[in-house]
Structure formats: C-alpha cells, structure tokens
Amino acid sequence: MKIDLLHKPTEYMETVIILQEENGDIEKLEYLPEYLQNAINIVVKEDDFQFKYASLKSFPFIRSRKRTNVILCGIGNPKELDNDRFRHLIAISIREALKLEAKEAYIYTGFKNPLSELHFGHILAEAALLTGYRFDKYLSETKPPSLEAIHLAMELKNPRMFNRGVLEGRIFAEATNLARDLVNEPANVIYPESLAETAKKVALKYGFSIEVFGLDKIKRLKMEAFLAVGKGSKKEPRLILMSYHGNPHPKAKTIGLIGKGLTYDSGGYCLKNCQGMVNMKNDMSGAAAVIGTMAAITNLKLKVNVIGIVAACENMISGSAYHAGDIIRSMSGKTIEVVNTDAEGRLTLIDAIHYAISREHIDEVIDIATLTGAAAATFGNQISAVLANNEALLNKLQSASEFTGEKIWQLPLYEPYKELIKSEIADLKNTGGPLAGTITSALFLQEFVAGKPWIHLDIAGTALRDREQGIYSYGATGVGVRLLTQLLRELE
C-alpha cells in the first residue's frame, strides 16, 4: 500500500475521506474541489451530521458519469486527540473504504492536528496497514486486493518527518502482520520444526542472527522441563535462538525476549474440552511476537542488543506424554511437581529463561505468553496483564503502551501467594490452583529470573479477536510486537 502526500489538486478522486472536527468548516479544506464541498455541505445539513468523535457516514457523489465515494469521519474535539484516538479514526475510515472496495483514498483533515508530523505519519501508515490485513489464503474464493494507495491532502511544514513516520509505522505494522500470519496458520502447518524454519527465513530477510537446536542438543542442555511438555508429540521440539546486536558499546545491556512457543496445546492428560482446544494454534502467540519484534528492531536499526528465545513444542497425549503427579527437573536444577499438565507453558518458559541468563548472559528479561485463562477472564480481549519486579522497566513499558495503544494493566507479585506454589515433595508445583492464577503463574516464573530486572506479559486474552474491530481483523492480533518494539526504542 502506497502512502504519500498530495502535492496538487486532483481532478477525479475515487474515494475521499474527510476527517473533520466537530462543527468544522468544510470550505477550509485544502485541495478539496468546490463541487465536493457543496455536496458534503448539503449532506451534512440534511442529516445534521456534527462530526462527533468516531461518527461515520458515507455516500456516493456522481459527476460527469464518474462516482466518488465520500466518507465523513468526525474527530470531535481535536484537543482530545491522542495517538490511540487518531489510530482508531484512521482504522474505521479505512475499513469503510475497504467495504466500498476502494483502490485509492484521498484523506482530507479539517482540524489543527495536535500530533507531531512524525507521529501523524507513523499512526496513519500503521493503522492503514493493520486495518487492511486479512488472512484468506485458505479460502477458495478470495476478494481482489484493495486500497492500493492513500494520499494525504494537506500542507506540512516538515514533510520529511511525516515520511519518516510513514516508514516507521510501516515497519511496525508489517512486523505485526508477520506475527499475525504465524498465529493464524493452523497447527498442521506451524509446528516446532516449521516454526523454526520460518524464523530462519525471517532472519535471512531482515538480517538478524539465528540458531536452532534440535532434540539432542536440548537433551544435552538438560532442559528437562521443556522436554517433558513435548514428550507426548511426534513433532520434536526446537529451541530457537535469535540475536540482534545494534549497540557495540562494551557495557551495553543485553535484553532477553522470551516467547511461549506452544504450537498446539491439547492440555495433555489434563485434557481441554473441545471448545478450549479450537484456538490452541494461538498458544505460540508469544513466540510470534518475539519473531516479529526481532524483525522490526532489525529493520529500524535500533541501538540495542537483544536475544530472542522460543522453546517450541506441542503438548499432546500419547504413551510417552508426561503425567499429572510427575516430578521433573528444570535446567536450573529446581524440581517441579506437575499437578496439571495443562499448566505447561511456564515449564517451557523457565528453561528458556534460565538458558538466556546462564548461557547468553542477558541483563534484563521480558517474557510474553498466552499463559493463563485467568488473565483473559480478568481483563477480556483488550488489556494484557503485566507483572514486573522492576519499576523503571515497567515505567518504560507503560510509556510504550501509551504510544502503541496496546493496553496493559499491572497485577501485583503478591509474596504470600508463593505458598500456593509450594510442594511437599518438590521445590515447586507448576500451578497454584484456581485462585489468583495469573499472579501465581508469574510468581512461578519469578523463581527462575535470578533477580534480573524482569517483566511478564500475559496475553492470553489479547492474542485473538473473534470479529473485526478498529485496527483488528478476525483472528490473530499480533499483540506485543508494537509494544515490545516501542519499548526497545525507549531503551536505546
């Protein structure tokens, strides 16, 4: 999709999007032909359309046998416009244009923009590309590609900064859509080996380093917790190690991104019900977020050092699958009583985290996982749970969240709840039971971060959408890619 500035008036425009402030004057819009001004004014007057925030109306206008689709979108009070509200306005306008099967859209802005030209370009490109995404490769009949170009009709003091913003927004969106593709693929297409092969292709395309360990190497590393989860599947596990070194300073920190990589989760012998298994192809959304983030930060050439790790496996049932009641040893040496085979993600994460700390010598840990149903039950599908042991790092994440619009909410690492994950026969239990599930799972992970600054993101509720809404299409959201990329920008 091409996104550029319109430098001179155009005689014919197939689709026009008007972003106008409440009670604004259409006649003040730059480049907008008089005949369209008149038509819009008539419609606005007849329908008493007041351009309140997110109000939307579209209508056709025919002149010289040519049809122009006009989309009116209200922005309300421009003083209240922030990144997230503007992102939503672009999304609903673009979605309306897509419904009209537009090939080109001309955007006119009738308000004083409070956003910087850099942020304006970023959000315009990001929202347009995210909204235009659809996963239709398995449909026999697919719609032809639409919306090939967006032209912004306005004068800018610094078009160079706008174009830079467009470039950065495109990088954010394309990396997110990469993650969406990975999660939307079914489990018979994306499994540990194919996920690793796809990560290799991404690394080759974007330029970061990658190494993949197979079963024998994982055994030699004594990652027994990780191996236990994958024992029941015919698909062998893979440990995917990605690295990007953008800061050559000898004292520069190395940040570890750890993504949960369960390419399918049946629940094991603690079997999920049918409804609970339908979307378990998305249990590698954390892994997809890490792969997408590695692509984005490499493309942006950020001055940071990052190690991305995914312990990829399937949690299945067979004669070799692990059982409830088993005691297993983690790579760190701590023993774990398995009280629920469906609390498997944390078992893969702890070995990946320990590897990152002990072998890659990372300084800070960020893990992202579709970890607990409790997070989804608590926050729904629009807010991710976050738990952290470092306030400075958490503040950076909150700032990143405000920029990207990916909402987070902090839960406490409540120390007394550690009692819930204590075992009588091992060092830990892999679940604390039905109460405070998101907190106890994070407390379990905290036992393996070795006191390093650490953030845990539980995206169980935010990884999927069951309908189109704003920038999100049906299916995978790609949650975490933009959030982590922006966080790493702030950590440069």
Question: Catalytic one among 272, 303, 334, 452?
Answer: 272
Q: What is the pLDDT of residues 398-454, one digit of tens each?
A: 999 999 999 999 999 999 999 999 999 999 999 999 999 999 999 999 999 999 999
Question: Catalytic one among 170, 346, 429, 465?
Answer: 346
**Topology given in CATH for the domain delimited by 185-490:** Aminopeptidase (3.40.630)
User: Nearest CA to 371 among 350, 343, 406, 337?
Assistant: 343
Domain ranges of the chain: 2-157, 185-490
User: Nearest CA to 445 among 351, 356, 333, 338?
Assistant: 351
- Is residue 346 part of the annotated active site? The answer reads yes
Selecting from 2.40.50.140, 3.40.220.10, 3.40.50.2000, 3.60.15.10, what CATH number does the domain 2-157 have?
A: 3.40.220.10
- Is residue 272 part of the annotated active site? The answer reads yes
Give the pairing type, strands 383-388 and 335-337: unpaired
Give the pairing type, strands 254-265 and 305-315: parallel
Element housing 61 (H / E): strand 56-63
* The domains spanning 2-157 and 185-490 adopt the same CATH topology: no
Residues of the chain with pLDDT under 70: 145
Q: What is the pLDDT of residues 75-123, one digit of tens each?
A: 999 999 999 999 999 999 999 999 999 999 999 998 888 999 999 999 9
Distance of CA 299 to the CA centre of its chain: 17
